[in-house]
Structure 1
């Protein structure tokens, strides 16, 4: 826009075979969203492929235009989970092979790959960091790569696992999905039992898993008063002492939110 080449950019964008967009939840501004919607339509109508990533499903992209959300919802929606140990090991094997192509003496035994895959669990970038550290340690010291050496080289990577910061929006989404209601129902003023219990559970988890104050939690739940949140927290707190089924559900939801 500043260079007054927007038309050329749009023409170039709509002539590609594959468009990949990350963090769509940050796409702000009516004009930008409308332009992206036009581009999306042009690509899909032309038979090209579009992959969009966001931290929530299309229906929950609250800052995104309704028509754009609807078009995105018409595609295949998949939830991407964390890398499991088997996949981490495969990624490490590929990264090690790539490093060995440049450094022929770089040998990483299978037991070391298995150790790294088991202990470096935060994200994929840390796996790259682990391979780079093993390579640097091996190059600088000349010592063969072993599990003991990996423990030393990767000590801070393994230690850096921190408690996950849970967001109220994530709690609302996961609780709603678990109880088979919509997030809009949880935030609404409906008082039916199938909505009241999930709402109270979500408020309880918001109080126990986040640092948000009662008034702020109330605002996140459709502008409710803090006394409503306090009542919900106390209600669930009392129920889980005698209701084993509910207690198990709460523990399951906590694991889902913290994993």
Structure 2
């Protein structure tokens, strides 16, 4: 049966993109049994198994029977996520593990972490794979690797989710860890409160210092809001100086690369540069579809794959907008008591577009401004290196951020052939995965486009 399952997995891998295959089929484990007509598979959780059976069991069964050449009994069991063994425990043991899980949830909430933001619910693709891998290392070796850890990217791409995932894992590994996860806005309010009434309070300062300087891990979300706040930055720098020498982990999220922060203490930027900075890029199509499937699974909703693909193709901005679109689809299905189909999804998404006001003209102008060239160069036949490269980047962004065809994009760039556009898209896609500097450039242009007025 092991060979049958391995061949079935290979067939499933060919049928689905990696971002769908890995979370659903890649996490199933083969269980050795004596019966030659029974295939036993172990799922990582009851939730995973419920969604897997509702969406994919019939297809798995069909492939298994075809490969085995006879009917095979397909049996699923569930692994205990805490012990890594099949769940065949007494009710007393189950209650014990449930209590332990509840204790971690309570600790997480007290530390400022949000329920549900875990590595298990973080969907991974090309856009966030490096950030995810780095975060897992930070969680495994806090204070030893990548300290401070700086996660940056545009709004709604999963920075907060990833940071909370690290925090959660740190507490699971060490429930006695002194961890605090806080928003930059709340941190600012606490610093302002030190001088409420017009003068600094020694008692409040002492309490503030004791709170932050004795932490084992500090997580701050959206540090871009600290820009132009010199007093708050000074407090944060003092905390850095207290925690980093003692190998206490610091994790920050931001909407831009550290060096792009304006009116920000150079000493803090230097400290950030000494750690690791990773970016989360806009999700590619396959990742968007996988995220939708995961979000539906979390709500115990059956989302057909073709509907996930439809929504992912319609919205190409950020995860929050994907969630909003999914809610619209689910709500319409609930209100009208209809199954979720492509037809219903199209009705629910009428007028919704992830590209907003971004047009090819916007992209051309913003890219030209970034590279300090003329807009006319986007349409010209010039092959000067910096002009040609800027033009290729603009073509790539036009394909990523609009729903225009390759032919339409080519026409907008001086009547170029669609094969020229395809070449540019493939080239920039490949280089983006290899060159951090290009990642930064694309991130800045994308941010400027999202702020287009």
TM bin, normalised by shorter chain, reads 0.5 to 0.7
CA RMSD of superposed structures (Å): 3.2
Aligned 1:165-204 pairs, distance under 5 A: 201-202=371-372, 204=373
Of residues 227, 235, 244 in structure 2, which corresponds to 1:44? 244
Higher relative contact order (CA 8 A, sep 6+): 2
CA change 1:248–1:50 in 2 (3 A) is same
- 1:133 equivalent in structure 2: 328
Residues of 1 paired with 2:338 and 2:366: CA distance? 48
**1:250 matched residue in structure 2:** 390
Q: Show the 5 A alignment for 1:1-259.
A: 1=194, 2=196, 4=201, 5-27=204-226, 28-100=228-300, 106-158=301-353, 161-163=356-358, 201-202=371-372, 204=373, 208=375, 237=377, 240-243=380-383, 245-254=385-394, 255=397, 256=442, 257=445
C-alpha separation between the residues in 1 aligned to 2:309 and 2:390?
33
Superposed CA deviations along residues 65-95 of structure 1, whole A, max 9, x for unmatched, are 1111111110112232111122222221221
Q: 1:240 touches 1:247 (CA, 8 Å); kept in 2?
A: no
**Residue number in structure 2 paired with 1:226:** none
Report how far residue 47 of structure 1 moved. Answer: 2.1
CA distance in 2, matches of 1:237, 1:133: 42
Structure 2: which 5+ runs fail to align?
Answer: 1-193, 398-441
Change in 2 beyond 3 A, CA 1:171/1:77: farther
State the distance in 1 between where 2:366 and 2:272 align: 20
TM-score (norm 1): 0.64
1:239 Cα deviation after fit:
11
- Report the number of matched residues: 196
- Tell me the SS of whatever aligns to 2:316: coil
- Residue 7 to residue 155, structure 1, CA distance change in 2 (3 Å): farther
Secondary structure of 1:156 counterpart: coil
Q: Where is the helix percentage greater, Structure 1 or Structure 2? A: 1
In structure 2, the CA distance between the partners of 1:9 and 1:108, relative to structure 1 (3 Å rule), is same
Work out whether residues 258 and 269 of structure 2, in 8 Å CA contact, stay in contact via their aligned partners in 1.
yes
Q: Deviations over 1:24-79 (max 9, x none)?
A: 23312322111111112222223222222333332332311111111111011223
Seen in structure 2, the aligned counterparts of structure 1 residues 161 and 245 have a Cα distance that, compared at 3 Å, is: same
Mark the CA change 1:41 to 1:171 in structure 2 (over 3 Å): closer, same or farther: farther
Structure with the higher fraction of residues in strand conformation: 2
